[in-house]
Structure 1
Amino acid sequence: MLQQLFSPSLLHALDLVGIFVFAISGALLAVRKNLDVFGIAVLAEATALGGGLFRDVVIGAVPPAAFTDLGYFVTPLLAVALVFFLHPHVERIQNAVNFFDAAGLGLFCVVGTAKAYDYGLSATASACLGLVTAVGGGVVRDVLANEVPSLLRWDRDLYAVPAMVGATMVALCIHFDALNAFTSSLAVVTAFVLRLLALRYHWRAPRAWQRRSTVREEE
């Protein structure tokens, strides 16, 4: 199915762009945590490849692409080099990083869903793995950095929800036999735009109804 939606060369190029941007977010967090160059590399690789590795292991696509294509491993290291030497400048273009991160989120949730379905999973299970593909690396990054994962925190702009919407759109298209290049691109764009709107207007998921917790809220 993936081959029908995207050409192999285009899919590979988009994959590498998404991996690069995700790696930058991991490397920047490592710098903020005052980690050394090895720590920066670990967080960058984990952020960039974590979601895809988990998906591939679950669906039996082994060895995962990250271990068979050198580009998947080297691309995060390029992001490490960029952040290591130029992190003050990279921090100043955070809006651009967020833009490409949102694009990677949209692409990965769609590609992850379609790939899972190609390996025999149901549409619902495929959507779940599409979500994991898009956000799993960020969860691994935050856990390694000893932080509550961003997608679980109420004070962070919506991240998982746009990916859920994109993956669900793909799953519905699969169910109704309507998945093609146009509908998959529409799912990518929808997740991408939702994430940008969440960043622009600080959309956040609601907390528990009539919440009365006395726990101190994190800044």
Structure 2
Amino acid sequence: MLLTVLELVGIAVFAASGALAAVRARLDVFGVVVLGMTTALGGGIIRDVLLGIHPPTALRTWPYLLVSAATGLLVFVFHPQVAKLRRAVLLADAVGLGLFTTGGTTTALAAGVPVYTACLIGMTTGIGGGALRDLLLREIPTVLRQEIYAVAALTGAIVVAIGHRLSLPAGPTAVVAAALICGLRLLALWRRWDAPRPRER
């Protein structure tokens, strides 16, 4: 029950992030809701497609669809107020990244895929929705050009995989990994860390 609640919170946060990006891009109400849903559910759908889970969990679990759509609609109506909560949204986004990445990695490991594959699928679960959001807005995905985002997700996924290989309890390992992802993400925002880029000649 607690895991489901946390997943729904993560979906709501990611949906708000996508919807705010759509508002900034001046999309209509349909575009705002669709982009919010894509951001919230995209990573999980990619995970399920890679693991051969059909139809994807997000498309056959109505609360996921309802929460993401309702969040997008609320952001469309109250976007001036939501935009003022930037720090809270960034914090919640970091928590959502941790939850989605560790959940995706755990799901992949349970499906019996190799450890390195589970790590990549876990990372993709965390960052996939945001990447789809940027592509729909005709932008280079943020995770490919700035900020410590994908690196944090991959680090947490590796922690989950190591715990699995050492036969450590899955629950506590996932909590530690999610906290690590969230902490790295917030530290990178605070210190304004970016991944290395090529030097200009």
Q: Secondary structure at the match of 1:35?
A: coil
Q: Secondary structure at the match of 1:43?
A: helix
1:204 matched to which residue of 2?
194
Larger Rg: 1
Q: Secondary structure at the match of 2:67?
A: helix
TM-score by length of 2: 0.97
TM-score by length of 1: 0.89
- Asked whether the 8 Å contact 1:21–1:104 carries over to 2, the reply is yes
Q: Structure 1 residue 191: deviation in Å?
A: 0.4
- Asked whether the 8 Å contact 2:32–2:73 carries over to 1, the reply is no
CA distance in 2, matches of 1:181, 1:118: 13
- Asked whether the 8 Å contact 1:158–1:195 carries over to 2, the reply is yes
- Asked whether the 8 Å contact 1:170–1:179 carries over to 2, the reply is no
- Asked whether the 8 Å contact 2:29–2:73 carries over to 1, the reply is no
2:120 matched to which residue of 1?
128
Q: Structure 1 residue 33: deviation in Å?
A: 0.4
**Which runs of 5 or more structure 2 residues have no equivalent in the other structure?**
none
Q: Structure 1 residue 174: deviation in Å?
A: 1.4
Task: Give the paired residue count.
Answer: 201
1:197 counterpart letter in structure 2: L
- Map residues 20-31 of structure 1 onto 2, 5 A cutoff: 20-31=12-23
1:10 matched to which residue of 2?
2
1:35 counterpart letter in structure 2: L
1:181 matched to which residue of 2?
171
**Which runs of 5 or more structure 1 residues have no equivalent in the other structure?**
1-8, 214-219
CA distance in 1, matches of 2:135, 2:173: 34
CA distance in 1, matches of 2:61, 2:171: 25
